[in-house]
């Protein structure tokens, strides 16, 4: 690292198993620096047409449940090693919301994984993680997950 103190560390999670290594890395870094963890899950907008009326409420409930599971996983893991963890569920385009939250809340570091729910290595890195890395005003640690996990 470059000698800076990471007191406010944000772990961006999508709830997939591929982000587990990033979660472990973020937790360990917070433990070593005495930092506070923020875990963020972003519910992306779902596109639907007026003909689809009826299923969007079920989809919304499913997405909220998945978001709660994802942030609770990080919260439990961090608290297990004595860290303070603030879980947050945001709505919007994931990269934009991650960047906005990090800037508004004065994060010292963003930690995220490279593999998303699709399991395609290039997909998340090519979209959310890449956009965060390119546009973040704070350091970003990208931790590669393993496709076989």
Q: How do residues 1-60 score in pLDDT, each as one tens digit?
A: 455 689 999 999 999 888 999 999 999 999 999 999 999 999 988 755 555 566 777 888
Query: Residue 58: its pLDDT value, please?
Result: 81
| Contact between residue 144 and residue 112 where contact means Cβ atoms under 8 Å apart | no
Average pLDDT over residues 126-139: 88
State the residue range of the domain holding 71.
8-143
Q: Total structural domains in the chain?
A: 1
Does residue 80 have a pLDDT over 70? yes
Residue 3 is assigned to a structural domain of this protein: no
Q: How far is CA 67 from the centre of its chain?
A: 10
Residue 1 is assigned to a structural domain of this protein: no
List the beta bridge partners of residue 142.
Answer: 112
Residue 80 is assigned to a structural domain of this protein: yes
Nearest 5 degrees, angle CA 101-CA 15-CA 95? 35
Does residue 149 have a pLDDT over 70? no
Query: Residue 121: its pLDDT value, please?
Result: 45
Q: What is the distance between the alpha carbons of residues 93 and 14, in angstroms, rounded to a whole number?
A: 12
Work out the number of other CB atoms within 10 angstroms of the CB of residue 55.
10
Average pLDDT over residues 106-114: 94
Q: What is the CATH number of the domain that holds 135?
A: 3.40.50.620
Per-residue confidence band for 73, with pLDDT thresholds at 50, 70 and 90? very high
Query: Residue 49: its pLDDT value, please?
Result: 54
The residue among 62 and 18 whose pLDDT is bigger is 62
Average pLDDT over residues 118-135: 68
């Amino acid at each position: 690292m470059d000698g800076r103190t990471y007191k406010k560390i944000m772990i961006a999670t999508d709830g997939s198993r591929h982000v587990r290594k990033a979660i472990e890395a973020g937790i360990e870094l917070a433990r070593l620096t005495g930092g506070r963890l923020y875990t963020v899950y972003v519910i992306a907008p779902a596109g639907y047409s007026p003909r689809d009326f009826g299923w969007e409420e079920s989809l919304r409930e499913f997405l909220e449940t998945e978001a709660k599971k994802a942030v609770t996983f990080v919260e439990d893991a961090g608290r297990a090693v004595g860290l303070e963890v603030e879980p947050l569920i945001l709505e919007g385009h994931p990269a934009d919301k991650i960047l906005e939250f990090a800037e508004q809340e004065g994060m010292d570091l963003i930690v995220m994984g490279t593999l998303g729910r699709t399991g395609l290595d290039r997909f998340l890195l090519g979209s959310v993680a890449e956009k965060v890395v390119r546009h973040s005003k704070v350091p970003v640690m990208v931790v590669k997950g393993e496709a076989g996990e």
